[in-house]
Amino acid sequence: MGATIQEIGYAFLETYYHRMNKDPSKVSCLYSQTAELTHTNYQVDFTPSSDTLPTVKLTGKENISKFFTRNNKKVSDLKVKVESCDFQTTGSSHSGILILITGEMFWTGTPTYRFVQTIILAPSGYRDTFDVTNDVIRFIGDNLLPETDVKEET
Amino acid sequence: MGATIQEIGYAFLETYYHRMNKDPSKVSCLYSQTAELTHTNYQVDFTPSSDTLPTVKLTGKENISKFFTRNNKKVSDLKVKVESCDFQTTGSSHSGILILITGEMFWTGTPTYRFVQTIILAPSGYRDTFDVTNDVIRFIGDNLLPETDVKEET
Amino acid sequence: LTSSNATSVEFPLYFNAAPEEFKEAGSKRHELRLKALGLDQGKNQ
Amino acid sequence: LTSSNATSVEFPLYFNAAPEEFKEAGSKRHELRLKALGLDQGKNQ
């Protein structure tokens, strides 16, 4: 394999975010048949005063395809700033790639939302191509205030 | 398999953080032979004015073992607050578990540091046990100020 | 293995420290925040 | 596949937006921050 995992990873991110922007209905082509996706729950209205967004979990390429098609408008409006990427090899014989991304995203008219995302790429079986097997996003609040009344655990 | 991935995941985290606290030299037993670890770089002095910490990447159980043993004192002093966990199944036949953690950590005398961490567990081959194949931590700054002078990309 | 959230866990979870122990460290972080915002007048210790 | 960081990339990376487009959205987030800190006097819009 000629390319480093960084090169493959960055090229993937370029394709991934570009396709969201240009053709959401084809984003699911990047996923494996049994992929799992935890992504922005677009069915819930964004709360203007909240600095995080809820997520929803989907399993399988078909459900993922429906998700991106149904939320076509929002998905294509997504704007992303990536602040860091960490890469590791993973899976059998380390032929897969794990990417840990941090950054901010927004949609027209919204504030920025800070997020972390983990994506796992596995060799697709075709020469030098990869499928997404896992994709998890989690939004990060600011946690600005010091803890004054910490909840007790039971 | 009787336990859910959540149950396995939380039980793992309990073991993982507890062992850091009680016996750092045995933390590496949780990792697979060829595991990759991106963790706090304890060889660099913490900068008091910074809200993030640098990380270092290690490959293989032997190097991971040396890392935890060399940094014994700091590792055993680690205190962790987990604010969210996302779980997905991963790997061949989805027998592995991906965990995306967000939270805060600190050491005696330091401020809290916000972090995100991705851990992948794969079946070890022994009945119902798992090895860590990947473990990546990334510290998150506050990014408090709005962007006034955005750097241009070339 | 299902995608259900059967395990009910209440966040945050604390490891190797009681919730109170996070207060002091958390206030140090908060001071860094105020400094970053230029709001740390009279609090420089 | 190595652990080297041969690929030099300058962060942040922008996708589907120019850096300037993040300014307005970023300032909305900043207003939420000031509100959370109780520092939003005279800025309620």
Residue B123, preceding peptide bond in cis (omega within 30° of 0)? no
A vs D: CB pairs below 8 A: 90
> In chain B, whose CA is at the least distance from the CA of A133?
B90
- Using pLDDT thresholds of 50, 70 and 90, give the confidence band for residue C1: very low
- Asked if this assembly's ipTM is beyond 0.85, the reply is yes
Type of residue numbered D26: G
**Contact assessment for residue B96 and residue B90, using Cβ atoms and an 8 Å cutoff:** yes
Cα distances from B58 to residues A6, A151, B38, B71, D5, in angstroms, run 16, 37, 6, 14, 13
Alpha-carbon span D24 to D17, nearest angstrom = 12
Would the pLDDT of A128 be above 60? yes
Set of chain B residues whose Cβ sits within 8 Å of the Cβ of D14: 153
Residues lower than pLDDT 70 in chain D: 1-7, 41-45
Q: Which residue has the tokens 């890469």?
A: A87
Q: For chain A, list the domains and their CATH numbers.
A: 5-140 (3.10.450.50)
CB contact under 8 A, A147 and C29: no
| Least Cα separation, residue B65 to chain C (angstroms) | 21
pLDDT tens digits, B27-55: 999 999 999 999 999 999 888 889 999 99
CB contact under 8 A, D15 and A14: yes
Low-confidence ranges of chain B (pLDDT < 70): 1, 146-154
